[in-house]
Structure formats: C-alpha cells, structure tokens
Amino acid sequence: MTVVSKGKITSKLSDLVREGCITEISSVFRPDSLTECDRRLLYHCKNKQTFHKSKMLHNKAITDKWIDLLSTTKGVRVVEKNVVVADANCNINGVIDIIVDFQDKIFVVKVKNIDSLVFDKIKTNGPRRKDVFEVQAYIWLSELEEGLLVYEDIGDQRFDILHIEKSKEIIKSIEAKFGDLVRYQVSGRMPKKPENISREYCESCEYHKICSESLSSK
C-alpha cells in the first residue's frame, strides 16, 4: 500500500508556496550591496528587486535567535531590534538587526549566517570587505560610533564576533559613492565600467547581457 506519493495536490501546493515566496520591493540602494559595481547597483534600481520570502524568514529566525542570546547574556542590554534606517539624499535604506548596550557603549549588531568554508576563511583572513562596509553604513545611518559583526556557521553554529570601529574615511567614501549614483539616477545616465572589475564578476552578473550591449553601443 502506497502511503507517500506526489500528485496534483502536492504539485499545486508546491507551486503556491513558491509563488508566495516571491516578493518585490521598491528599488533603493541597500547597505549590503555597497561594494557592488556601480552599474549593477543602478540596474538594480531601474528594476524591481525580487526577494525570496523563505530566505528572509530564515535570516529573521537567525536574527531572532541572536536577540534571545544577547538578551540573556550577562552585562548586555538589547536596546532595539530590527531598526529601519535610511538616508534620502543617498537613496539608501536598510535594517539594523540589533542595537545593544555593552560595557557602557552602544553598538549596532549585524548577523551573518555563512557556510563552513566561508567561516573558516574569515577566521584565517579576517572579515569580508563588503560586510565591514555594511556595518560602517549602519554606524553612519544610526549616528552611532561602533558596531559588532557576528558570523555564524550555518552548519555547526560556531560563531565569531568582531568589533568594528567607526571609520570616517569609509563613511565618507560611502556618501560620495551613493551621492554620485543618485546624480546618475536623476540624469538617466550610466557610469563607466569600473576598471578593476573582473571578467568573472561581469559574467556572473544578472545584468551582464544588457550592460554589455549598452557598452558596445557607445
């Protein structure tokens, strides 16, 4: 007797779940994309950005876990959680996972759930550049002075917490970059292709075809 099967009911349910997992949000710049190619960022903003709700819910579950962990950690006070921050002049917004008070200092906290290979690489070589820039952006947008970057291994839940101090130089570069991008948005123009971009990066970009056609037509 067959007790497990796949048929019209399960196919229909699967299709509905997949359809419900897709959501579109207004196109703005996000702190987690600060180190991306300028052209890619502008193409993002010209098109609605599609996100999978399942991934968003997974990230929320990880963040909620760290909120609970920090809330019960001696000497730590969770000040706020899921804080939306933005800067209209730079058309950028994002969500700070947690803000905590520890040793009489206030920190923005960003949690990154990564695989074991990436975790080991970070333990050896230090944090990813894009993550440092993201935390710097949240420090700037929240008008705070320091941040904590939490890396958690998705496999065995190992974690590492890194202290990120405010860098006026990095924040100045962020403001300058997105100020320029907003001016490109307003004018309807596109910036030149970055000289230091790799061929592999370009070919993996979802806008590779349209970007290449735009460049070749000039």
Provide the residue-wise pLDDT of the chain in tens; the chain has 218 residues: 555 556 677 777 677 666 665 555 557 888 998 898 999 888 887 765 566 667 777 888 999 999 999 999 999 999 999 999 999 999 998 999 999 999 999 999 999 999 999 999 999 999 999 999 999 999 999 999 999 999 999 989 999 999 999 999 999 999 999 999 999 988 888 888 888 778 888 888 888 888 877 766 65
Buried b (16+ CB within 10 A) or exposed e, 44-67: bbeeeeeeeeeeeeeeeebbeebb
Residue 218's identity, in one-letter code, is: K
β-pairing, 92-102 vs 105-114, is: antiparallel
The predicted pLDDT at position 201 comes to: 86
The predicted pLDDT at position 23 comes to: 57
Q: pTM of the entire structure?
A: 0.85
Q: Does domain 51-186 have CATH number 3.90.320.10?
A: yes
Note whether 68 and 100 are within 8 A (CB): no
Report the C-alpha gap between 61 and 200 in whole angstroms: 33
pLDDT in tens, 148-197: 999 999 989 999 999 999 999 999 999 999 999 999 988 888 888 888 77
Question: Is the CA virtual torsion 189, 26, 92, 127 positive or negative?
Answer: negative
Q: List the chain domain ranges.
A: 51-186
Residue 120's identity, in one-letter code, is: D
**CB neighbour list of residue 38: distance below 8 Å, 6 or more residues apart:** 177, 180, 181, 184, 191, 194
